[in-house]
Amino acid sequence: MSRLRVAVLMGGPSPERDVSLRTGQQIMSALDSQRYDVLPVEVLRDGHWVLPGRSAATLTAEASSPTGGTGAPGSSAGASPNDGRALVPARADALGIDRVMEEGPIDVVLIAMHGPYGEDGTVQGLLELAGIPYTGSGVLASALAMDKLRSRQLFGFNDIPVPAYLAVTRERAADLEALRAEVATTLSYPCVVKPNALGSSIGVTIVRDPAALDAALDVAFAYGALALVEEFIRGTEITCGVLEDPTTGRPHALPLIEIVPQREFFTYEAKYTPGASEEICPARLPEQIATRAAALAVRAHEVLGCRDMSRVDMFVRGGQVIVLEVNTIPGMTGVSLLPQAARAAGIEFPALLDRLITGALQRRRRSSG
């Protein structure tokens, strides 16, 4: 039986690039070499696409620390276009998918790119144009999930509880005294400031008093033109993986995970450093609340139109479940939450990847009639 050619797409210019490299390494290590011919494709920070020509094992050195050995999230280290064979010049008119195909026909792309360009619909649109099947959500769902403001607006229309928040542009932030007063009246302090379109807790600040608001907004604006200021929720942080049946497409919730960070919130370091947080599966919740949280996770997945998988981050405050955001390409590192939840449901990591690949191929068969 011939093996399926699976391209693992990782890296990219996003501040979450280093997590993406670790996810890609973990995926390549887990894919069954008897079933799959794995082609690693790395997108460098400058936009070049390269075939590193390295095995999964040799990627480990780059991906062995919370910052992937390239500095803090968002740093520009390790972006040389000469590291491997350049496939795509950083030009809009030469995307180079045809050069990837010269390596042999690609049956499916397993997307391991987090954050902007990889998780926001950009690379999904590229693959749609190229006619290559890929894992995960499509263009629209990816874009909506990455945009916290738009997704929360949709959740509100569908009776999915979200935190109280204000959307703040640079222009709105220019009148700082008025904004400080509005935050005090609408949300109160402490509050949370975060970029509108980024994950992994990058750019997130807890603001304890009005004097610290402007500095927190500066951090958030470093990652985009829109920031969210939202209420600080005192409660239990949980996450729920949603996995679709690869044949029917029907989504179901995986066991809930309760997150107990050592710090005040689930930071970038806590997410990707072993032992930096306690993760309890199943979450220690009353059955009624756990059932409600699982149902809301599936509903959020459906409202955005997600496919294959997602991870829905939530808080439980009293008896209320509050949805924070949906991650369409959750981390797949050794400490990541979705693989933990799948394992608790009896699905080991290689089998999880098999399901994602099968789902992508099934979609292609259905679309081609």
Instruction: Specify whether the CB–CB gap between 110 and 38 falls below 8 A.
Output: no
Q: Give the active site residue among 11, 12, 16, 138.
A: 16
Query: In the prediction, which pLDDT does 65 show?
Result: 42
Whether residue 247 is found in the same domain as residue 107: no
Instruction: Give pLDDT tens digits for 204-216.
Output: 999 999 999 999 9
How far, in Å, CA of 307 to CA of 127, rounded? 15
**Does the annotation mark 287 as catalytic?**
no
317/269 same-domain check = yes
- Residue 114 tokens read as 């987090």
Q: What CATH number is associated with residue 96? A: 3.40.50.20
pTM: 0.85
The string of pLDDT tens digits covering residues 47-86 is 788 887 643 333 434 444 443 443 334 433 333 333 333 3
Residues 222 and 240 reside in one and the same domain: no
Catalytic residue among 327, 336, 359, 363: 327
Instruction: Please identify which of the residues 325, 354, 355, 359 carries the catalytic annotation.
Output: 325
Give a yes or no: residue 352 inside a domain: no
CA distance 221 to 203: 9
Catalytic option among 137, 200, 310, 336: 200
Q: Are residues 22 and 118 in the same domain?
A: yes
Amino acid at 211: A
Would you call 16 a catalytic residue per the annotation? yes
Respond yes or no: is residue 302 known to be catalytic. no
Q: What are phi and psi of 239, to 5 degrees?
A: -140, 150
CATH number, position 254: 3.30.470.20
Query: Does residue 335 share a domain with residue 223?
Result: no
How would you classify residue 297: left for phi > 0, otherwise alpha for psi between -120 and 50, otherwise beta?
alpha
- Same domain for 326 and 340? yes
Active site residue 327: yes
Q: Is 308 annotated as catalytic?
A: no
54 with 115, same domain?
yes
CA dihedral defined by 246, 145, 202, 342, rounded to 10 degrees?
A: -20
Indicate whether 91 and 216 sit together in one domain. Answer: no
Q: Is 313 a catalytic residue?
A: yes
The verdict on 130 and 213 lying in the same domain is no
Instruction: Write down the catalytic residue from 45, 331, 359, 363.
Output: 331
Query: pLDDT band for position 329 (50/70/90)?
Result: very high
Shared-domain flag, residues 40 and 27: yes
* Region class of 70: left (phi > 0), else alpha (psi between -120 and 50), else beta: alpha
Identify whether residues 42 and 149 lie together within a single domain: no
Tell me the residue range of the domain where 241 lies. 145-161+234-347+357-365
Task: Report yes or no on 140 lying in a domain.
Answer: no
More confident residue, 291 or 19: 291
Same domain, 10 and 114: yes
Instruction: Read off the CATH number of the domain in which 206 is found.
Output: 3.30.1490.20
Domain presence at residue 139: no
Last residue of one domain, picked from the residues 176, 210, 231: 231
The token duo for 154 is 């949709």
Residue 276 pLDDT class (50, 70, 90 cuts): low
Given the residues 277, 313, 355, 363, the one annotated as active site: 313
Tally of structural domains, the chain: 3
Could you say which of 311, 354, 359, 363 is catalytic?
Answer: 311
Q: Note if 272 is an active site residue.
A: yes
Q: What is the enclosing helix (H) or strand (E) of 119? A: none
Note if 180 is an active site residue: no
